[in-house]
Amino acid sequence: MIIQRLASNDVSITTDRRVSFYAALYGAETRIDEGRKSYMETISSQAFTDFLRTSGEVLGTVNHLPNYTYAKRTDGSLLLQSDKKGLFTSSYLPDNEVGDYVYTAYKQNRVKGASFQSVPMLSRTRPDGVVERESLYLYDVTIAIDALPAYPQTATQVVVRLKQNYEQQLAMFNYQKMKLGL
Is the pLDDT score of 150 beyond 50? Answer: no
Q: Could you tell me what percent of the chain has a pLDDT over 90? A: 57
Question: pTM of the full predicted structure?
Answer: 0.77
pLDDT top residue among 86 and 9:
86
Q: Give the span between the Cα atoms of 59 and 78, in whole angstroms.
A: 8
DSSP letter (8 states) at residue 154: S
User: What average pLDDT does the segment 138-156 reach?
Assistant: 65
Is the pLDDT score of 109 beyond 80? Answer: yes
Give yes or no for a contact between 32 and 42, defined as CB atoms under 8 angstroms apart.
Answer: no
* Residue 182 neighbours by CB under 8 Å, 6+ apart: 97, 100, 101, 104
Relative to beta strand 30-34, strand 37-43 is antiparallel
User: What average pLDDT does the segment 147-152 reach?
Assistant: 47
Give yes or no for a contact between 131 and 1, defined as CB atoms under 8 angstroms apart.
Answer: no
Domain count of the fold of the chain? 1
pLDDT-derived band at 172, boundaries 50, 70, 90: low
Residue 178 has what pLDDT?
A: 57
Is the pLDDT score of 161 beyond 70? Answer: no
Angle (deg, nearest 10), helices 163-180 and 97-107: 70
Q: Which spans in the chain are helix H? A: 49-52, 97-107, 163-180
* CB-count exposure of residue 134 (10 Å: 0-12, 13-18, 19+): middle
pLDDT-derived band at 180, boundaries 50, 70, 90: low
Q: Give the span between the Cα atoms of 58 and 50, in whole angstroms.
A: 14
Angle at 90 between CA 120 and CA 115, to 5 degrees: 40
pLDDT-derived band at 37, boundaries 50, 70, 90: confident
Q: Give the span between the Cα atoms of 156 and 98, in whole angstroms.
A: 25
Residue 160 has what pLDDT?
A: 35
User: What average pLDDT does the segment 20-24 reach?
Assistant: 92
DSSP letter (8 states) at residue 28: -
Q: Give the span between the Cα atoms of 102 and 96, in whole angstroms.
A: 10
Query: What confidence tens digit (pLDDT) does each residue in 51-84 have?
Result: 999 999 999 999 889 999 999 999 999 999 999 9
pLDDT top residue among 143 and 170:
143
- Domain containing 109 equals 3-180
